[in-house]
Amino acid sequence: MAHISLIERVRALAEPLAESLGLMVWGIECSGGARGVLRVYVDASPYAEAECGAAREAGEGAAGEDGPARAPEDAALPPGVTIDQCGEFSRLLGASLEVEDVMSGAYILEVSSPGLERPFFCAAQLHPYVGAPVELVLSAPGPDFPGRKNFRGVLVDAPRRDEDGPIAVVPDCMALPVPENAKKLVFSWNDVKRMRLVHIFPEPRKPGKR
């Protein structure tokens, strides 16, 4: 909770800059320490006016992240954010942060695409990834899985953009179809401590087989 005010100040500067480059702010993270790290994820999206709900595969990204993320086949998939876009956005945001004196002390600004295993920052980002494997940590164990807070499984339900509703994951299942009578973990976004997409790399083909 300590960084909420700082993150909102950064967001107020970052969002119009991202929009001017045809990008959107996917999320912002801030870690403390002697030399703090401010990490801003930017994405390309057909929904240029919004932060949440991008239905896309991750394209080229900064810091060596590239390639497609797993997403439903019927999702809208615009081109990914490029390294050049990340670099230009980083330059503009860095200058704005200095002018507005948002960051106190030394810090490192990192700008990148969300990458293959994108973290989620709000419930509205989830629905385009229904059917994909995810990993999450709950703030506290739920009643259906006593003593357990860490889960990997398939996201099978999430509210649509601008709607409220439960989120559901089938734990310990990493691909569709889920087993019949599979037990679901049902929770709200307020229960989530961390959640991210899981990228499943395809198995290499054996020589001599098509």
Model-level pTM?
Answer: 0.79
Q: What average pLDDT does range 31-44 have in this prediction? A: 88
Tokens of 3: 């960084």
pLDDT at 145 over 50: yes
Q: What is the pLDDT of residue 50?
A: 38
**CATH among 3.30.1370.110, 3.30.300.70, 3.40.50.300, 3.40.1400.10 for 4-112:** 3.30.300.70
How much of the chain exceeds pLDDT 70, in percent? 79
pLDDT for 191: 96
- Supply the CATH classification number for the domain 123-197: 2.30.30.100
Predicted confidence at residue 207, as pLDDT, reads 74
- The reported pLDDT for the residue numbered 44 is 86
Element spanning 155, H or E:
strand 150-157
CATH 2.30.30.100-classified regions of the chain: 123-197
Looking at per-residue pLDDT, the higher value among 53 and 9 belongs to 9
Is residue 74 scored above 80 in pLDDT? no
Of 29-38, 51-60, 112-121, 126-135, which range is least confident? 51-60
Residue-level pLDDT at 4: 56
Q: Where in the chain is the domain with CATH 3.30.300.70?
A: 4-112
The tens digit of pLDDT for each residue in 163-188 reads 889 999 999 999 999 999 999 999 99
What is the CA angle 71-76-78, rounded to 5? Answer: 100
Q: Is the dihedral of CA 40, 46, 49, 50 positive or negative?
A: negative
pLDDT of 193 higher than 70: yes
Please report how the helices 83-100 and 4-20 are oriented relative to each other, as an axis angle in degrees rounded to 10: 130
Percent of the residues in the chain that have a pLDDT greater than 90, as a whole number: 65
Picking from 76, 173, 158, 169, the residue whose alpha carbon sits closest to that of residue 123 is 158
From 17-21, 46-50, 120-124, 204-208, the region with the lowest mean pLDDT: 46-50
Higher-confidence residue: 162 or 23? 23
Most confident of 39-48, 69-78, 94-103: 94-103
- First and final CA of the chain: distance in angstroms? 53
23-51: average pLDDT:
79
